[in-house]
Amino acid sequence: MGNHAPIGVFDSGIGGLTVAREIMRQIPEERLVYFGDTARVPYGSKSQNTIIHFVRQIVRFLETKEVKAIVVACNTASAYALETIEKEIDVPVIGVVKPGAKTAAKASKNGRIGVIATDATINSGLYTKFIQSINPNLQVFGKACPLFVPLVEEGLTHDFVTEEIAKRYLKELKEKEIDTLILGCTHYPLLRSLIGGVMGDAVQLVNPAYETALGLRRLLTEKRLLSEDAACAEGKYEFFVSDGAEKFRVFANSILPYEIQTTQIVDIEKY
């Protein structure tokens, strides 16, 4: 394995594509192997033990692809399994929670930060922990928004139904007078304009994917693993899912700056 090896990126499904998209933009010379656990999504309502079990299987699959680094492109998996797998494997691993927390802590002027995410991520309290480890005076208000994931999966990103639900979910955060809101679930950046419309211009939205891609570049540089291959080689990006390959391919093509030809199914239970 060396600098030409791919980076493994995984999520419970399609949401992690928002992170893959950011990596493609910021480190275009890198090859990616993406895995979306579409058969077992959502992770956001599952227990820590189950999430760790799923993540171990995905990591074993990515290891067969000889990845040089792994990006946990899922907030829920980052919150519950990152610390465990970091100790179990040799390749460097980066999640999305710490980068998101860091960006928000820097961005907030009034010290009042909101986090929207799955139930599991909010219950983990990890965003609050990371933000307050940077500055203990920052106040963090979490709100689980479980319906956002299926609404995005159904393509209702600009629908009045989604807007109505967003108004309900975000009401209490508006009342807290936050000035910064972390989109703490990888699906939520796809609702960015709708959430921004509900929160108003005074609230800045933080997409952890941006800082994650920057963090990944730093990590690869530090480990001397950055690819120097500027050529856009054939098969540079590979996509695997545990179910619904065609639905995934169509969705991916609607959000990536690149046309996916094939998505392969993996029997993840075998790993």
Q: Give catalytic residues, as residue numbers.
A: 74, 185
Applying CB under 6 A, among 18, 38, 118, 204 the residue interacting with ligand DGL is 118
189 or 227: CB nearest ligand DGL:
189
Applying CB under 6 A, among 85, 185, 213, 216 the residue interacting with ligand DGL is 185
Quick one: which of 14, 8, 24, 15 has its CA closest to 94? Answer: 8
Applying CB under 6 A, among 35, 43, 127, 239 the residue interacting with ligand DGL is 43
- In the sheet that holds 139-144, the strands lie side by side as 139-144, 112-117, 180-183, 204-206
Quick one: which of 118, 91, 92 has its CA closest to 13? Answer: 118
By CB under 6 A, residue 186 contacts ligand DGL: yes
By CB under 6 A, residue 12 contacts ligand DGL: yes
Q: Is the dihedral of CA 192, 78, 106, 182 positive or negative?
A: positive
By CB under 6 A, residue 207 contacts ligand DGL: no
**Site string (227-256) toward ligand DGL, x via CB under 6 A:** ------------------------------
Q: Segment near ligand DGL (CB under 6 A), from 68-76, 81-89, 131-139, 212-220?
A: 68-76
39 or 226: CB nearest ligand DGL:
39
57 or 227: CB nearest ligand DGL:
57
8 or 15: CB nearest ligand DGL:
15
- Residues at the contact surface with ligand DGL, assessed by CB under 6 A: 11-12, 15, 41-44, 74-76, 118, 121, 149, 185-187
